């Protein structure tokens, strides 16, 4: 669909929309390209995607990249401004600087999906996410490149900081990353996952995590994805 047709449909039905899935939104953004001198017009076009959606509670956009000089976090701020009831945001595969998100627009958020969003500054990104106190679901998995694990610096320290900041968290996916933290094979005293001491999640994604994290004892979740047994594998197939 052309952008104009999408905007026309949103304008017609937007006031009753509760869920909006824009799919691979990058194709639409590229059709929005305008000369830099028309930057205000560009921002106006972006704003039209959500300005008539006052009841929207869930927004999904995949693969969003910058348009002209407008970065993804700036585009996101324009889109989110009228969405006062938004509780779920899916930014899978977006080229986004998480640390620059305007979290003041996301205070009602209960679910944030950052699957395959490359985080370059883990500390600053987690500082931003920590402001979203109502989160119950957080997806940080990196599975677009299955041949290697995304390794962050000081993952244990980052997790020990973030997890206590999210008291309502029940669903956490860190598959394909080293956020599980290192644990020696015979270490039975350290927490299975850093930052989750004394917690019990409903779901914990550990598929393709290093150091056989999914095989650790006393994992703090009722359901786990991984390769430790058939149950973990079947859940991984169903999830991913």
Sign of CA dihedral 129, 131, 132, 133: positive
DSSP E strand stretches across the chain? 19-24, 58-62, 88-90, 111-113, 137-139, 171-173, 203-205, 224-225
pLDDT at 75: 86
Lowest pLDDT segment from 37-41, 133-137, 144-148: 37-41
Res. 31: pLDDT tops 60: no
pTM for the full predicted model: 0.92
CB-facing half-sphere around the CA of 164: CA atoms within 13 A: 9
Q: Which residue has the higher pLDDT, 104 or 63?
A: 104
Predicted confidence (pLDDT) at residue 39 exceeds the cutoff of 50: yes
According to DSSP, the β-strands at 171-173 and 203-205 are parallel
pLDDT for the residue numbered 187: 72
Neighbours of 22 (CB within 10 A): 21
Q: What is the mean pLDDT of residues 64-83?
A: 85
Asked whether the predicted pLDDT for residue 152 surpasses 50, the reply is yes
The answer to whether the CB of 67 falls within 8 A of the CB of 33 is yes
- The pLDDT confidence band at residue 23, using thresholds 50, 70 and 90, is low
Please give the DSSP secondary-structure letter assigned to residue 67.
Answer: B
What residues does 116 pair with on adjacent strands? Answer: none
Which of 176, 161, 153, 82 is CA-nearest to residue 128?
161
111-140 pLDDT tens trace: 999 999 999 999 999 999 999 999 999 999
Beta carbons of 126 and 162 less than 8 angstroms apart: yes
User: Where residue 189 falls among pLDDT bands split at 50, 70, 90?
Assistant: confident
Helix axes 122-129, 155-162, angle to 10 degrees: 10
pLDDT number for residue 36 = 46
Q: What is the mean pLDDT of residues 78-86?
A: 94
The average pLDDT across 38-64 equals 83
* pLDDT(98) > 50: yes
- How many percent of the chain have pLDDT more than 70? 88
Closest by Cα among 117, 141, 137, 122 to 62: 117
**Burial per residue of 188-216, b for 16 or more beta-carbon CB atoms within 10 angstroms, e otherwise:** eeebbbbbbeebebebbbbbbbeeebbeb
Instruction: Work out the mean pLDDT of the chain and round it to a whole number.
Output: 89
| The pLDDT of residue 34 is above 50 | no
Length of the chain counted residue by residue = 240
Instruction: Give the pLDDT confidence score for residue 27 in this predicted structure.
Output: 59
pLDDT of residue 47: 83
- Percentage of the chain with pLDDT > 90? 68
Beta strand 137-139 with 171-173 is: parallel
């Amino acid at each position: 669909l052309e952008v104009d047709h999408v905007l026309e449909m949103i304008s017609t039905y937007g006031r009753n929309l509760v869920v909006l899935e824009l799919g691979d939104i990058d194709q639409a953004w590229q059709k929005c390209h305008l000369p830099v001198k028309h930057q205000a017009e560009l921002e106006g076009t972006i704003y039209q995607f959500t300005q008539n959606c006052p009841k929207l509670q869930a927004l999904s956009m995949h693969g969003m990249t910058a348009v002209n000089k407008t970065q993804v976090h700036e585009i996101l701020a324009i889109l989110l401004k009228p969405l006062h009831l938004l509780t779920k945001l899916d930014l899978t595969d977006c080229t986004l600087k998480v640390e620059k998100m305007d979290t003041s627009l996301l205070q009602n958020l209960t679910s944030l999906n950052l699957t395959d969003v490359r985080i370059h500054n883990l500390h600053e990104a987690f500082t931003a996410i920590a402001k979203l106190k109502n989160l119950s679901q957080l997806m940080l998995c990196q599975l677009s490149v299955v041949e290697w694990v995304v390794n962050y610096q000081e993952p244990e320290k980052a997790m020990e900081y973030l997890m206590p900041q999210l008291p309502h968290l029940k669903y956490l996916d860190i598959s394909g990353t080293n956020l599980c933290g290192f644990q020696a094979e015979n270490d039975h005293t350290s927490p299975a996952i850093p930052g989750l001491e004394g917690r019990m999640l409903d779901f914990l994604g550990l598929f393709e995590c290093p150091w056989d994290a999914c095989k650790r004892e006393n994992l703090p979740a009722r359901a786990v994805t991984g390769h430790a047994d058939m149950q973990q594998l079947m859940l991984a197939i169903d999830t991913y």
